[in-house]
């Protein structure tokens, strides 16, 4: 990544470097660490203890897109697919066993991928749109189903260290766009919507710590205006009462998904 500091460099070299640096999780971690070290030597500070300069990561993604070359962008998306293939094959070993340093390195990869332009590329309706949609759905599913301790806890902590503009434009807005477009196209709550909302909940919890963004940034107009919130509320209330009657936690597998469980999505008018 450090070698690709300009659009011209990306255009000339990304096609050759992408298979190597995005072939697996270890390669991605090494690339991100090298980028952070390079930026640090030039006076840029990596994000907290994570060891990643997320402004540099953002610059990298922008440089790839600015080439306007489908072959280059395809190499990026294919590399992301390679990484998620590896994560899915090794999910239990990666995220349910191992030492804390290994956990953090693996979660760091997902955090860098959350900053990727997959949703933007899906929305652009180019020939890569279908591939990008599939990879965005896979990414949100992987993140949504991470164990809370320590993986989601890492994400919440690290997202709380993001600059407000990157958190808003590269993490939150793509999630909002994905939820809105998928609901508009399918007119139903499928697994992709559930996963994206749960990832957004992670971002919202991080924002509670940092207060980087106003709560209005989390309102989703489509959910607030198009979903039958009254029916949604009744389902949520009944599920809460059932959980209390059974003496169990409301987050159990038998509890149906409702938007009212994630009230940060609903604007003030809808909540009245």
pLDDT at residue 147, rounded to an integer: 86
Domain boundaries, the chain: 7-218, 219-272
Alpha carbons 83 and 87: distance in angstroms, whole number: 6
| Chain segment 61-115, per-residue pLDDT in tens | 888 888 878 888 888 888 889 888 988 888 877 776 655 556 677 788 888 899 9
pLDDT at residue 13, rounded to an integer: 46
Residues of the chain with pLDDT under 70: 1-51, 96-103, 125, 243-254
Asked whether the beta carbons of 16 and 50 are under 8 A apart, the reply is no
φ/ψ (deg, to 5) at 137: -65, -40
pLDDT at residue 96, rounded to an integer: 67
Q: Residue 240, exposed/middle/buried by CB under 10 A (0-12, 13-18, 19+)?
A: middle
pLDDT at residue 10, rounded to an integer: 43
The pTM of the full predicted model, rounded to 2 decimals, is: 0.82
C-alpha distance from residue 245 to each of 22, 158, 253 (Å)? 49, 37, 16
């Amino acid at each position: 990544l450090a070698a690709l500091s300009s659009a011209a460099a990306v255009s000339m070299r990304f096609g050759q470097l992408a298979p190597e640096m995005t072939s697996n999780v270890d390669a991605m971690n090494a690339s991100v660490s090298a980028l952070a070290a390079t930026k640090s030597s030039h006076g840029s500070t990596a994000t907290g203890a994570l060891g990643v300069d997320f402004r540099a990561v953002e610059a990298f993604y922008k440089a790839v897109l600015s080439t306007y070359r489908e072959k280059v962008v395809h190499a990026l998306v294919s590399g992301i697919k390679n990484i998620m293939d590896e994560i899915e094959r090794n999910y239990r070993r990666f995220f349910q066993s191992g030492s804390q340093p290994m956990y953090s390195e693996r979660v760091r990869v997902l955090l860098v991928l959350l900053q990727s332009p997959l949703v933007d590329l899906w929305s652009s309706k180019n020939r890569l749109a279908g591939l990008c949609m599939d990879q965005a759905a896979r990414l949100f599913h992987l993140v949504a189903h991470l164990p809370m301790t320590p993986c989601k806890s890492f994400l919440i902590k690290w997202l709380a260290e993001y600059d407000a503009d990157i958190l808003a434009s590269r993490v939150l807005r793509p999630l909002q766009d994905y939820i809105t477009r998928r609901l508009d196209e399918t007119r139903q709550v499928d697994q992709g919507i559930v996963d994206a909302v749960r990832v957004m909940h992670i971002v919202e919890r991080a924002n509670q710590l940092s207060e980087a963004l106003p709560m209005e940034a989390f309102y989703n107009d489509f959910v607030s205006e198009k979903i039958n919130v009254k029916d949604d509320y009744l389902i949520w209330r009944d599920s809460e009462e059932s959980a209390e009657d059974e003496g169990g936690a409301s987050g159990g597998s038998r509890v149906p998904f409702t938007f009212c469980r994630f009230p940060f999505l609903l604007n003030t008018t809808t909540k009245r």
